[in-house]
Amino acid sequence: MVAPAERMKAMRARRRADGLREVRLVVPDARAEIIRRRVARQVARLSPDGEGGALEWIESVSEFDEAG
């Protein structure tokens, strides 16, 4: 049986050969209470007037619009 580290090494080599690059992404854990409080504070500070333009732009460029 091949060791897990060797399997991962082989998988990465196959991906590199296929032109793929591995990227590690670290994001805040939304399950953590401290993160939930931080997000709630940031959302409470949003201004509907200030965010309207951004939301309109997002909707205008969205590929999931009603025109299909």
DSSP state of 3: -
User: Mean pLDDT across the stretch 24-47?
Assistant: 95
pLDDT of residue 50: 82
Statement: residue 59 has pLDDT above 90: no
- The candidate with the shortest Cα–Cα distance to 28, out of 13, 44, 40, is 40
Tell me the domain boundaries of the chain: 28-61
pLDDT band, residue 65 (cuts 50/70/90):
low
Counting residues of the chain whose pLDDT is more than 90, the rounded percentage is: 62
- In this prediction the pTM is 0.49
Q: Is 8 exposed, middle or buried, given 0-12, 13-18 or 19+ CB atoms closer than 10 A?
A: exposed
